[in-house]
Amino acid sequence: MNITYCKDFQEMSLKATSLVLEELETRSDLLLCAATGASPEGLYRELAATTERESKVFSQLRIIKLDEWGGIPEMHPVTCEYFLRNKLLTPLHISPDRYISFHSSPENPEEECRRISTLLEKQGPIDICILGLGANGHLALNEPGPQLQAKAHVAELSEKSLQHAMIASMENLPGYGLTLGMEEILNSRKIIMLVSGPGKKEIADKFLEGKVSNELPASHLWKHPNVECLLDQSLLD
């Protein structure tokens, strides 16, 4: 794992942007797995600014959504879908045929997860996976526990996850999560882990110990051969 301490959020976002653009130079149709939340927001803003200068740079880019809050209408403002459409898909002009996405309120959540896994098997593996560090060490919505699931699955959300800023103000919280599994994430050719945000210092320190445990799902990234871990030092001091 290559660990880079950035002086602030902007430096972290710019570094992540340069890593993505570098990969795009060698493969224009790469598959990018996109996380949501505050940590990758600066990266997506920089990518949107790039397409204003170079309109063709993302013309073949493919995107897969990392996870989703379950049981919420798809275009509700708290969904990952809403976030990605506004921050990434629309600014980068990603067409529907270049986007793989969990539906946020499917009739059959388990079948929806099987659909995503099948699409990923056909179109993957992921070339670049953008990740953030969960407040309890979760990776996507792979929550701490005795066992972690390999493939996309319906996740029981922890109390920590239900306090996530995206959904904390909701009167009726999501009933479950939909997420890519650990094997699907770890099969990514390159992973960019963004560590930022208030209250993350303690879990970041545990992650940086390098001890792999299912009780800290993000620690499994230490087993991956190509991880760029970027830390926003200003929020971790």
**What pairing do the DSSP bridges indicate for beta strands 2-6 and 62-65?**
unpaired
Catalytic residue check, 164: no
What is the DSSP-derived secondary structure letter of residue 170? -
Catalytic residue check, 143: yes
Indicate which residue of 67, 81, 112, 127 is catalytic: 67
CB neighbours of 106 closer than 8 A, spacing ≥ 6? 70, 112, 178
Catalytic residue check, 111: no
- Alpha-carbon gap, residue 183 to 120, rounded angstroms: 12
- Alpha-carbon gap, residue 11 to 97, rounded angstroms: 33
Q: Which amino acid is at 228?
A: E
Indicate which residue of 41, 112, 143, 184 is catalytic: 143
Catalytic residue check, 205: no
Indicate which residue of 76, 136, 183, 228 is catalytic: 136
- Alpha-carbon gap, residue 32 to 169, rounded angstroms: 29
CB neighbours of 73 closer than 8 A, spacing ≥ 6? 79, 104, 105
Indicate which residue of 68, 81, 127, 138 is catalytic: 138
| Residues acting as catalytic residues | 67, 136, 138, 143
